Chains A and B, each alone.
Chain A
Amino acid sequence: MAELRMREALRDAMAEEMRRDEAVLVMGEDVAVFQGAFKVTEGLLDEFGERRVRDTPISENTIVGAGVGAAMGGLRPIVELMTVNFSLLALDQIVNHAAAIPYMFNGQARVPMVVRMPGGGGHQLGPTHSHSFEALFLQVPGLLVACPSTPADGKALLKTAIRDDNPVIFIEHESLYGTRGEVPEDDGVLRFGEAAIRREGGDVTIVGILKMAHAAAHAAETLAEKHGVEAEVIDPRTLRPLDLDTILESVRKTNRAVIVEEGWPHGGVGANLATLITEQAFDYLDAPVQRVTGADVHMPYSRRLEQAAIPHEEHVVKAALAALEGSI
């Protein structure tokens, strides 16, 4: 085990896979000479050179599209979009092309590409630089969607993503890049579609992703210490495929569920999961599924307002208590 920051774990995953497979290359805005806007690609240019670590122009749709073509031509591109926000400029290539091509050409072409992008709010970057679009990509058939919350998961999932033959949307959280954690020093990969149970408990199930996986874990501690409530905390780690089994199994045990995400409430990750739980474990529920989401606004700049628009531990605690009080 080594203690690494998230950004180092992700960098190691890319470096290891590039050593392992000559077809892996990294491209994106400022990934080479600048070493990545968030320093995730630090050191890659030195080790692998300009052929495999390529700075691109600011042309998101074309960067991703070139990744699609390169993948169809037999390479395994890792495309870094500087932030999730800019992925909106590349949605045509992500949705109409990367996700659709294997299907619409009936399996004659594969798109083994990873599109990495950091998102999330909390840095006073205002409306256009604070998005959480997990739900947007979750909706698209043909994509895989990963959203790691720990350095160990980040490394293992990214290695899996690079080796997988499907297009993967790999969502990172800007606030988690500096987070430290124990990372196995082996060549470990992590299968997509396997949730992690971070804490066991029998009273309420709390599902959180990315930074909200941490909010969920902290809330569980508070619930135990101050309210005598034992929460089970689950981090799905990937949203497509989704380990619904682990979540349903937990809900059947606790009979209560809280879902925590930073994104917008309408059509969100929580909205989707709440529906799945209601459809498939309705008889086990003792209370309505509770959702904790980002506010239904564009992210304000003011620190005071921004913090009010992002979910925090206390919101999760409150939602869990509401689930425990509610009955149907």
Chain B
Amino acid sequence: MGNREIKRLDINETFAPVAKFTTIRCIQMMTAASRWELHQTDVKTAFLNGDLDEEV
């Protein structure tokens, strides 16, 4: 139903903030050099986490 799209409301670009690969590598190198600990976690059901403050 592209013809019914309303600007700003429907055609917002999807935006997912991610870290740069270079930054990730820098951090990993620092970790190894300084013998720090490096762990990983994953947020479950990530998309359901935001609270909307605008009408959709």
A and B co-occur in one complex: no
Report which A residues bind B (CB closer than 8 A): none
Report which B residues bind A (CB closer than 8 A): none
